[in-house]
Structure 1
Amino acid sequence: MQRPHSPTIRLRRLGFELRRLRETHRLTLEEASKSSGVPRTTLSKIETAESRRTRTRDLDALADLYEVSDETRAAFHQLYRESKEKGWWYQYKELFGTSGLPAFEVEASLIRTYEAQVIPGLLQTADYARAVFTGTNAFAEEEIKRHVEARMERQSILTRLYPPEYAAIIDEAALRRCAGGKEAMREQLLHLAHMATRPNISIHALPFSAGMHAANLGGFQIMEFSEAADPTVGYAETPTYCVFVEGQDEIRTYDAMWREAHNASLTVAQTIDFIYELSASLEDVT
């Protein structure tokens, strides 16, 4: 059984390989366009994964120009065919768009996240997620239902046959902030403790006692992939839009922040004990 694939990742991989071949042949976009007959704008969009409609003859023209093997030529066409398929998140495109966060998570081999205000989405229970979306006062009931359904669907990557490694740092504030009532929060904490025992998941609490730390500007996520042709992606949310970055300097900044926050966090074992303590404290709340 193969791991699920993402049309977005396939399109990026095709563009990466074609750009690499062009640079290996020491051709500019203009030179490659003139020699292959593929319009410069089209070639640029293919290389940057912005083209959703690539002609077969253009792929063949580029394969001829770069003198690739029949196997590589076939791989180009396969990548393009797979980039036209639709992932499960297309049914929630009003929430994610067509190339949103799930399009990257589904093929990631390692996901690292830091959350300061809420439990990470991939670790939320349905009741907790409902409380999160209800608390924003920004969604109607039907929209809340859609958001919760989509969030539960996203979580399937952690328990599938070939799951990614998942490492979450959760600020103590998020662990203590009650969402959905005492019972819902207790269920959420126990769910976290359970998920932390899975072999592909590590959860680290960042306690108040750690003081200020490198990741104090807000939550973010880093996604790495097993294929060298798939650059690491950083992700962060703002109140009005989502940010995806893959520049080396930006990724280094995200990586440094995550590692410093990790160094200030509790171990997995300490975190599980801490979570159980918080859960028990809710039993005493009247």
Structure 2
Amino acid sequence: MSQRRTVTSLSQQPRARFAEELKALREANGDSLRQLGEKVGWDFSLFGKMENGHTLGSADVVQALDQYFGTGRFLVTLWELALGDKAEFKEQYREYMGLEAEALSLWHFGLSSIPGVLQTRGYAAEVLAAGGIKGEELTRQVEARFNRGEMLAAEDAPRFRTILYESVLRLVLRDPGAWREQLEHLVGMSERPNVTVQVLPFSAGPFGLMNTDAMFLGLSDGRVVAYTENDLHGELIEGGGQIERLQSAYDAMRDLALSPAQSRKFIGEMLEEARCDPST
């Protein structure tokens, strides 16, 4: 087994550093990706994605790699840095992020904001700043949130669906240019074959998740997990009747929402209004 490494690669971004160190450890150990998969017990394609920076893997995977390479908590530490500072992520959210990295499909409902994977830097900056984050911490969190969107553009990107309540699109940014950029990004991403964007209009009336933002993850083992949150609380839900009730509510909202084509037109009209607004 390899000995504990000192971080020596040139990359300064935590995500790239993690990928480089993982590849260096594997090569120093003389393993191919397939051999590593057989020895550690995960599909070798996952390790290829991790080395290419397309995914970070889950906590369990990274812990198993540290154990295999004999590197203590070296890779786990880099993985946590790649996710973000430990203080930024509560334990459940950190676990959710690991699951998100392995998900084959994701479906989201946004009651209060555009999902992080579809946010531009300008949008993320205003939203995070409104929550009291400032200075270097703001810059770091903006980059962390923006970089999450890379997974939707990867060659093996997961399927992603978001239903955005109309209020999300009516809450414009203070910076008109940043708001136009965000709307343009939404339209562009909605045209990707793996991304579906729907708008739930005010005219739909009451609906099942009126107080909750939610993300569902479809995992490779067939499980579905959910993460729900509001301003004060986030909860990872991994099974039982709660998942079924949340999925039922989501399905009902999907039926009430505008179709993907209608939703793209809706957002496009908002974009044209923003471009034509003389105050901007």
Which residue does 2:81 correspond to in 1?
A: 90
Alpha-carbon spacing, 1:173–1:187, altered in 2? closer, same or farther (3 Å): same
Which blocks of at least 5 consecutive residues in structure 1 are unaligned? 12-51, 53-76
Which residue does 2:136 correspond to in 1?
A: 142
**Whole-angstrom CA distance in 1 between matches of 2:258 and 2:123:** 23
TM-score (norm 2): 0.71
Aligned residue among 206, 215, 225 for 2:219: 225
The one-character-per-residue Cα deviations of 1:100-152 (angstroms, maximum 9, x if unpaired) are 4321211000101000111111101000100101122x212222111101101
**1:175 and 2:169 matched:** yes
Deviation at 1:183, TM superposition (A): 1.5
The percentage of counterpart residues that share the same residue type is: 27
Code of the aligned partner of 1:250: Q
Deviation at 1:90, TM superposition (A): 2.6
Code of the aligned partner of 2:276: D
Code of the aligned partner of 1:216: M
Could you say which structure has the larger radius of gyration?
Answer: 1
**Whole-angstrom CA distance in 2 between matches of 1:79 and 1:124:** 33
Q: 5 Å matches for 1:13-28?
A: none
**1:258 and 2:253 matched:** no
The one-character-per-residue Cα deviations of 1:218-256 (angstroms, maximum 9, x if unpaired) are 21111111224xx32110123334210112211111111
Task: Classify the secondary structure of the residue corresponding to 1:227.
Answer: coil
Task: Classify the secondary structure of the residue corresponding to 1:106.
Answer: helix
Which blocks of at least 5 consecutive residues in structure 2 are unaligned? 1-44, 50-54
Matched residue pairs, number? 219
**Whole-angstrom CA distance in 2 between matches of 1:212 and 1:95:** 34
Alpha-carbon spacing, 1:126–1:88, altered in 2? closer, same or farther (3 Å): farther
**Whole-angstrom CA distance in 1 between matches of 2:61 and 2:79:** 15
Which residue does 1:25 correspond to in 2?
A: none
Q: Decide whether the 8 Å contact of 2:227 with 2:234 is kept in 1.
A: yes
Q: Decide whether the 8 Å contact of 1:127 with 1:180 is kept in 2.
A: no
TM-score (norm 1): 0.70
Alpha-carbon spacing, 1:236–1:80, altered in 2? closer, same or farther (3 Å): farther
**Whole-angstrom CA distance in 1 between matches of 2:119 and 2:250:** 21
The one-character-per-residue Cα deviations of 1:30-61 (angstroms, maximum 9, x if unpaired) are xxxxxxxxxxxxxxxxxxxxxx7xxxxxxxxx
**Whole-angstrom CA distance in 2 between matches of 1:265 and 1:234:** 20
Deviation at 1:89, TM superposition (A): 4.6
Which residue does 1:192 correspond to in 2?
A: 186
Q: Decide whether the 8 Å contact of 1:9 with 1:107 is kept in 2.
A: no
Code of the aligned partner of 2:230: T
